[in-house]
Amino acid sequence: MLYNGIKYFIIIYIKKGEIMEIYSLINRLIKYALKNSLITEDDVILVRNELMALLHLKDWQDVKEDYQIPEYPQEILDKICDYAVEQKIIEDGVTDRDIFDTEIMGKFTAFPREIIETFKELSQQNIKLATDFFYNFSKKTNYIRTERIEKNLYWKSPTEYGDLEITINLSKPEKDPKEIERQKNMPQVNYPKCLLCYENVGFAGTLTHPARQNHRVIPLTLDNERWYFQYSPYVYYNEHAIIFCSEHREMKINRDTFSRTLDFINQFPHYFIGSNADLPIVGGSILSHDHYQGGNHEFPMAKSEIEKEVTFDEYPSIKAGIVKWPMSVLRLSSLNRKDLVDLADKTLKAWREYSDEEVGVFAHTNSTPHNTITPIARRRGEYFEIDLVLRNNRTDEANPLGIFHPHSEHHNIKKENIGLIEVMGLAVLPGRLKFEMRKIAEYLKDEDFEKKISDDKDTEKHLTWLKAFINKYSNIKNLSVDEILENILNVEIGLTFSRVLEDAGVFKRDEKGKNAFLKFINHIGGRF
C-alpha cells in the first residue's frame, strides 16, 4: 500500500511539473514576442488565451522565474510540441509538429495590412530599410526557420571561373514511414493551387502542404501588373526572395519577363532578380506559377568578367560581352531600360528558332521546343545589367535526362536539374553528401580504402569519381578526417560542380564551342 501511495504521489508530482512547465513555456514565448515587437503588452492576455485553447488548458498559473530569451523561438516551440504530443493533442510526426508550431507562431503574426503598411512607410524613407524589416520579421515569426537553416553546410571552392559556392542542404527534416503512409491516404485537394499562390497566406497546412499562418507577402506593381514579394522559407542565400504573379499561370520567358525584372531592380536596386527557364529539365521546380527569385547576394557569376566584348550597332547605348563562365552567357548593360528589353527580346526570339547541327543544338524536335533563356538582372550603380544564359533541354539515348544537363559521371554529386541558383554559381547539394563524404574521408586513412568504399552501399557510387583525382594528393595518410574533408573532398566537389555547369553549357568551352557561340552572336547582329 505504501509503495502504491508513493508511486501515486510521484505521478501527481511529475504531472504537476509538466503542467507548470507548459505555463513557463507560454510565458517565455510571450516574452520573446514582446522583445521582438511581434506583439504589445495590450495583446498579451488575448495571445495567452489563444495558446491555452490550442493546448487544451482550462486554467492559468503564473510562474515567476528568470529565463533567457532566445534569439529565435524554435527551442521553446519544440518543448511545447513535446507537451502537445504527450497530451495527445498532436501526433509525433515532423509535419504534425511543423503544422502545430506554425499555428502557434500565427498567433504572434500581425495581419497582412499592418505588415504592408509598415513596409510602405519604410520604403518611402529607404527601400533597404523596408526589406530589412520584412526579412527580420519573417525570421522572428519563424516563417524562415533560422535554426534549421543554420545546419546547412556552406563553403567556397576555387575554380578557373572564380570561387563557386557550395551548400549541402540539411535543413529539411525527413518524414518517417508512418507519416508518408498517412500522406498517401489523404484526399487530394486543390487549394491552394500551388506553393506560390497568394492563398498560402494564413493557410493551416496539411500533411501534403505546409502550414503558413505566419506567412505574409507584400503587393508589388511590376510593369503595370499585380505581383507579390515574399521570402523563401528555405533561404539558400542572403535575403532569398520570391516574386510571384497574383495570377496562377504558367511560367513563360518573354519580352514581359525582361521588362518586369528591370522594373523590379529599379524599385529594389540593392537586389538582383532572375528567373528559371520555362521548359522542363532546364527549368525550376515550379513551372506552374509565374515567378522570379531575387535577394541581396552577389553570386559568383555576377563577379565573372567579360572575356569577349560585343558591339550591337543597332543599340549603341548597350555595352555587351560574353561572360567567362562554364555556361553560355551574354551580358548586356545600359542606362536605357527600353534598349535592354528590346535586345534581350530579340536575342530570345532568335534563340528560340536557332539550330546549329555541328554542336548538337536543335531548336525543335517536330513541334517540341528546346531553346529558352535563364535571365538574371541586377544594378551596377546607375546601370541596369542583364545576363542571358542560353539553355536547351534536348535529350537523346546517351543522355535521357538531358544533353545539356549534369552528365551521368557526375550524378554521384549532382543529378538534379540546373536551375537559376545553380546557373549563378551556387550548388545546392543533397544532405546525403555530408555523411557519405565523412565516411570516405575515414576510409581514405586505410590502405584498403578502395575495397571499403566499394563494399559500402552509401559510398560505392563515389569510387570512380574518387579514383579520377585521388593520386593528386600524396599525403592523405598524414591528414585528419576533417582536413581530408576540407582540403580535398570539398575542393573536388567544387571542381565537379564547375564541370556540371560545363555539361549544362550549350556552347562548350573548347574552340569549336566558342566559335559556335560567336556565330550565334553574329546571327543576332553582334560584332567583335
pLDDT in tens, 208-250: 999 999 999 999 999 999 999 999 999 999 999 999 999 999 9
Q: Is residue 499 part of a domain?
A: yes
The strand ranges marked E within 232-352 are 241-245, 272-274, 291-295, 306-312, 319-323, 329-334
- Between the two ends of the chain, the Cα-to-Cα distance in Å is 98
Q: Is residue 83 part of a domain?
A: yes
- Nearest Cα to Cα of residue 486 among 147, 148, 158: 158
Q: Is residue 116 part of a domain?
A: no
pLDDT at 15: 53
Q: Is residue 47 part of a domain?
A: yes
User: What does the alpha-carbon distance between residue 315 and residue 379 come to, in Å, rounded to a whole number?
Assistant: 19
Q: Is residue 436 part of a domain?
A: yes
Cα–Cα–Cα angle for 470, 471, 474, rounded to 5 degrees? 100
**Domain span at residue 6?**
2-89
Supply the DSSP symbol for 322.
E
Q: How many domains does the chain have?
A: 2
Q: pLDDT (tens digit, 9 = 90+) per residue, 305-346? A: 999 999 999 999 999 999 999 999 999 999 999 999 999 999
Helix, strand, or coil here: 129?
helix
Q: Is residue 526 part of a domain?
A: no
- Nearest Cα to Cα of residue 273 among 299, 255, 247, 254: 299
Supply the DSSP symbol for 209.
B
pLDDT at 9: 47
Report, as ranges of residue numbers, the positions in the chain whose pLDDT lies below 70: 1-18
Q: Is residue 138 part of a domain?
A: no
Cα–Cα–Cα angle for 233, 378, 149, rounded to 5 degrees? 20
Which of 74, 89, 104 is where one domain is finished?
89
pTM, 2 dp:
0.93
Q: Is residue 39 part of a domain?
A: yes
